Amino acid sequence: MPSGLGESPYGNVRSLPDRSESSGPPADMEAEQAVVGAMMLSAAVITEVTATLSVEDYYRPAHATIHRAVIALHEQGKPVDPITVTHALDRDGDLSRTGGPAYLHGLVQSVPTTAHAPYYAEIVHELAERRRLMEAGTRLVQAATAPDSTAADVREALALGEEKLPEAWQEPIPLNVRPKLPTFPLHALPGWLADFCAGIAEETQTPTDMAGALALSVLATAAGGRSVVQVRGRWREPTNLYVVVALPPANRKSAVFAAMTGPLYEAEKAIAEEAAGLIVEADLTRKMAQEAADKAAAKAANADGPERDNLVAEAIGLAQQAEALTVPPHPRLTVDDATPEAISSLLAEQSGRLSVLSAEGGIFDIIAGRYSGTPNMEVFLKGHAGDRLRIDRRTREEYIESPALSMGLAVQPAVLEEIGKNRGFDGRGLLARFLYALPESLVGYRKINPTPVPEQTAAAYERNVIALTLSLADRTDPVVLTLTSEASAVLTAFEERVEPQLRVKGGRLGHVGKWAGKLIGAAARIAGLLHLARHLRDGYAKPVDADTMTAAVEIADYFADHALTVFDLMGADAAQARARSLLDVLATNGWETVTRRDLFAKLSRSEFSTIAELEPAVALLEEHGYVRSHTPPRTGKRGRPPAPRYLVHPQVREGQA
């Protein structure tokens, strides 16, 4: 039994040994495991444990995270067991960091008895207090013995030692290890759509993510510009989406892309055939009106006297009538390789509705200025948001009240890495508008003779996509999709869960705030598309229900997990390399806390020539949970304020990071 605990008030309990190495901080992993395991076994001990133990008392970050999830469930009046805790951790993106379901079940099985949980909690708390005293003492000794330290530095270290440490550390996110990402939740799609996505994934031996993500692009092409979701008040979300799936070569992207988008081209052909007669008639009428106006103008030109005035007036009237006649453009739903100027013109012609569909990433090169030499992303920014677009050129003037541009792209991961280097894409917010899917390649693990998509499943998919597209094609005003009160509550709960994650300091999504800030709107858009796909005949006549919104939130969570990895992939290599060098220095010196000045003094000048170059690397380490910025309190009214310090994750100090 650790010294200072005294005799157990709970009877003859085996004293749990200190499992940390003699040279490391005092900690008892068995006691920590027993505490969180007992809390998942018996809700009755939770109150007793929390009376003694706080989250920051744990030495292992995973145990602190599990403890926090248990308390949250208990306070909400929900059952607490390994299954509910697993679900809560998975929902918040913490499951893999805590060891996964197997570790949670193992914690429960390792509990000797729940009756002794309060005693185990005392052990953990006592060892935490001992670690704090050791850390404070070490900090004070370091400050007092440093050759260049001042009395103010020592007082600062003493003040920091008296201050309670911040919340417990969580498991850091590896800088160069890509986490295992969730697969696309096909079950969240309507049955006919999920069946085809699963079938084409099996037939082509590709990840279900590719078909699932592209399915949303197909729905957005069918309904974008023709429907909006009424979220609350004046907040409306259009149903167009930007989706990009990234897979290495040889993953049969083109085959899946062709299968998923094929019905759209059939629908486009049907719309064009229906409009062909009207276009011919309008074109002929306009030509005849123009000929009549030309003849009247010629006749007026040859007339004299009072008759000339009447003929001129008649010619002007005919010319105005001819000018007022317009010829409908040939209907278009999709475009592939086109310049931003061409896309702007097509959007204007097609009443603000268009979709860029491509199995390659060339559109990014075009946006960056492949043809013009100058980046032009205005139509892509406003086309996603639905903001008014006015184009004034020497040769044309175009105005689009509510543009609705969709994009569905299947690219190689290298394309994402390349566009990440274009600061204009990120700075203008273009990258924040995409929903990213980064599935795991199946190359090398594919079946040789897979089962084809059942004919009935393929026929239902084609029939339903065409029906949805045609049912909305002729609408001039978009369908307004409302939410039931239950659906609104689901979206609000999602918003409440995401908002704290947007915090720059400590928020899971803080470092991708531009993207994550649009996540709630994306969920609403996805809900509208799922609703229309579930109610092909009368979706416009009924509100979006809670089940549909729940499915949309699950899909939005999927895209959030993938976006975190994609933005890391698109991150600057220099910052990653410097962050790794910084980690090595922190581990070598074993600091528990360090000032920026002392840290900079230990760094190579060839890599960090100025202290300003230190900041991006520190920010990256902070985003991944390796360090925290901390400003100690002032020790007096006079003198310079305490210098900001960096707190270092225990795993870094112990060389485990």
56-95 tens-digit pLDDT: 788 887 888 899 889 989 888 899 998 999 888 888 777 8
Task: Point out which residues pair with 628 in neighbouring strands.
Answer: 647
Q: Is position 16 within any domain?
A: no
Residues 565 and 577 in one domain: no
Q: Is the pLDDT of residue 429 over 70?
A: yes
The tokens describing 390, both together, are 């006015």
Containing domain of residue 562, as a range? 175-261+331-571
Share above pLDDT 90 across residues of the chain, in percent, rounded to a whole number: 31
Q: Is position 477 within any domain?
A: yes
Residues 442 and 552 in one domain: yes
Residues 315 and 335 in one domain: no
Residues 317 and 189 in one domain: no
574-603 tens-digit pLDDT: 567 778 888 888 888 888 788 888 888 888
Share above pLDDT 70 across residues of the chain, in percent, rounded to a whole number: 81
| Cα gap 608→601, rounded to integer Å | 10
| Cα gap 583→575, rounded to integer Å | 12
Residues 192 and 128 in one domain: no
What does pTM read for this prediction?
0.63
Contact (Cβ atoms closer than 8 angstroms) between residue 505 and residue 513: no
pLDDT of residue 396: 59
Q: What is the CATH number of the domain that holds 449?
A: 3.40.50
Give Cβ neighbours of residue 374 (< 8 Å, ≥ 6 apart): none
Determine phi and psi for 237, rounding to 5 degrees.
-115, 125
Residues 103 and 55 in one domain: yes
| Cα gap 182→205, rounded to integer Å | 18
Give mean pLDDT, residues 467-487: 91
Residues 200 and 85 in one domain: no
CB atoms within 10 A of CB 336: 11
Residues 336 and 274 in one domain: no
Confidence of residue 336 (pLDDT cuts 50, 70, 90): confident
Residues 90 and 220 in one domain: no
Give mean pLDDT, residues 348-357: 87
pLDDT of residue 537: 86
Which range (188-197, 214-223, 339-348, 443-452) has the least confidence? 339-348
Domain boundary among 110, 129, 162: 162
pLDDT of residue 652: 82
| Cα gap 522→468, rounded to integer Å | 21
Tell me the three state secondary structure of residue 389: strand
Q: Is the pLDDT of residue 636 over 70?
A: no
Residues 188 and 76 in one domain: no
pLDDT of residue 408: 92
Higher-confidence position of 638 and 8: 638
Task: Specify the number of domains making up the chain.
Answer: 4
pLDDT of residue 22: 41
Q: Is position 168 within any domain?
A: no
Q: Please report, for residues 23, 67, 426, 507, 652, the alpha-carbon distance to residue 18 in angstroms, rounded to integers and kept in the order given.
A: 12, 20, 49, 33, 21
Tell me the three state secondary structure of residue 628: strand
Q: Is position 38 within any domain?
A: yes
Q: Is position 7 within any domain?
A: no
Confidence of residue 493 (pLDDT cuts 50, 70, 90): very high
The tokens describing 652, both together, are 């870094």
Q: Is position 1 within any domain?
A: no
Q: Is the pLDDT of residue 20 over 50?
A: no
Give mean pLDDT, residues 353-382: 76
The tokens describing 344, both together, are 């702007």
Closest alpha carbon to 193 in 579, 401, 550, 463? 463
pLDDT of residue 14: 35
pLDDT of residue 481: 96
Confidence of residue 35 (pLDDT cuts 50, 70, 90): very high
Q: Is position 564 within any domain?
A: yes
Q: Is position 9 within any domain?
A: no
Which range (139-148, 523-532, 543-552) has the least confidence? 139-148
Contact (Cβ atoms closer than 8 angstroms) between residue 497 and residue 471: no
Residues 80 and 196 in one domain: no
Contact (Cβ atoms closer than 8 angstroms) between residue 384 and residue 515: no
Closest alpha carbon to 36 in 15, 9, 66, 11? 66
Q: What is the CATH number of the domain that holds 72?
A: 1.10.860.10
Give mean pLDDT, residues 25-37: 87
Residues 561 and 584 in one domain: no
| Cα gap 35→100, rounded to integer Å | 18
Domain boundary among 324, 352, 367: 324
pLDDT of residue 13: 36
**Residue 518 has what DSSP assignment?**
T
- If you average pLDDT over every residue of the chain, what do you get? 82
Q: Is 595 exposed, middle or buried (0-12, 13-18, 19+ CB in 10 A)?
A: middle
Closest alpha carbon to 404 in 389, 419, 425? 389
Q: Is the pLDDT of residue 166 over 70?
A: no
